[in-house]
Amino acid sequence: MDIAKKLAEELNIRPKQVEDTIALIDEGNTIPFIARYRKEVTGGLSDEILRELDERLTYLRNLEERKAEVARLIEEQGKLTEELKAEIEKAEVLQRVEDLYKPFKQKKATRASKAKERGLEPLADIFWAQELETGDINEIAAPFVNGSDDKDKGVPDADAAIRGACDIIAERIADDPEITAAVREKTKGFGVISTEAADPDEETVYDMYYGHSEGIAKMPNHRVLAVNRGEKEKKLKVKVVCEVGDMEALIAGMVITNTHSIFEGLLRETIADAYKRLMAPSIEREMRNMLTERAELDAVKVFAKNTEKLLMVPPVKGARIISIDPGYRTGC
């Protein structure tokens, strides 16, 4: 990625201005110093643009470093295909990079990993392919039964084999970057922040948030911060609410390729499990973090504006004062 070119496009300024400003930042100069004393180098960029450039520069550099690290980690596993490498390289946000890395990330022991250790991944692949339209699922699972009750390696019956295969598929669904992105966007657009009183009988300053619901996409920043405070003080219970049926339908549209397959019902049950157990909790955390980050950033901007107004108030009303600029080149 050509970071300087991208920043020039984002901020609608000349590439030369970006390159010269990056050089000043890399030399260790602060944004206030650059804005005040290096206008001739930056082409007169304002402190607001300089600050945004600095923030985006840091983000994009971190993005490039993470992309290189993720590609290296996947390559060490021998699983880095040219297609996956291209997807990583064209990612423009860190979240996309993490989504692509998720299927390859080392995890603690999960239901899916334990099922794989019991040799049930080939059965999961049969379910996932959805090619069979006739037959008995228990008979298909029978060859994977070993009759053992060992909690680590045992597959005592067909039901245990089927459950294990479904656990593998559930994790496969939850780790899919395209499915994750689709669920995230739908949650962001249609999800609701729901708040309830931690103690319904207690009167608090958060009364207005008892039984309150508000769309994620429309929730004002000041209410996000208020809800967070109420939760931190243990006066409110907060959760993200989505229409589960809609989410399951969205995932099914991306997973089920043959509605005549004998595995369709089983896959729909697995989709419900994948969303409720594996996807919804992490997506909820993402939404809360996203709202908090946005609200805190806005609060800083509001505070900065209010501070500027206070600083610009005349120190002595009705009187003129003189000050000295100590700058070597531009001052006295």
Render pLDDT for 260-304 as a digit per residue (tens, 0 to 9). 999 999 999 999 999 999 999 999 999 999 999 999 999 998 888
pLDDT for the residue numbered 311: 80
**What is the CA 320 to chain-centroid distance, rounded?**
53
Going by pLDDT thresholds of 50, 70 and 90, the confidence category of residue 66 is very high
pLDDT for the residue numbered 330: 61
Assigned domain for 149 exists: no
Nearest-angstrom CA–CA distance, 195 and 287? 15
Q: How many CB atoms lie within 10 A of CB 161?
A: 26
Assigned domain for 170 exists: no
Query: CATH number for the domain including 24?
Result: 1.10.10.650
Assigned domain for 186 exists: no
DSSP single-letter state for residue 296: H
Assigned domain for 262 exists: no
Residue with tokens 């400003």: 21
3-state secondary structure of 223: helix
Render pLDDT for 3-14 as a digit per residue (tens, 0 to 9). 999 999 999 999
Nearest-angstrom CA–CA distance, 181 and 95? 9
Assigned domain for 42 exists: yes
Q: pTM of the full predicted structure?
A: 0.84
3-state secondary structure of 98: helix
Assigned domain for 20 exists: yes
Assigned domain for 200 exists: no
Render pLDDT for 12-48 as a digit per residue (tens, 0 to 9). 999 999 999 999 999 999 999 999 889 999 999 998 8
Assigned domain for 17 exists: yes
DSSP string of 138-149, one letter each residue: HHHHGGG-----
pLDDT for the residue numbered 318: 77
Report CA-CA distances (Å) from 83 to 96, 182, 252, 324, 329. 15, 20, 24, 61, 55
Q: Is the pLDDT of residue 233 over 70?
A: yes
User: Which residues, 6+ apart, have CB-to-CB distance to 269 below 8 Å?
Assistant: 166
Render pLDDT for 111-161 as a digit per residue (tens, 0 to 9). 999 999 999 999 999 999 999 999 999 999 999 998 777 777 889 999 999
Which residues constitute the domain of residue 94? 3-104
- Mean pLDDT of all residues in 175-200: 95
The number of distinct structural domains making up the chain is 1
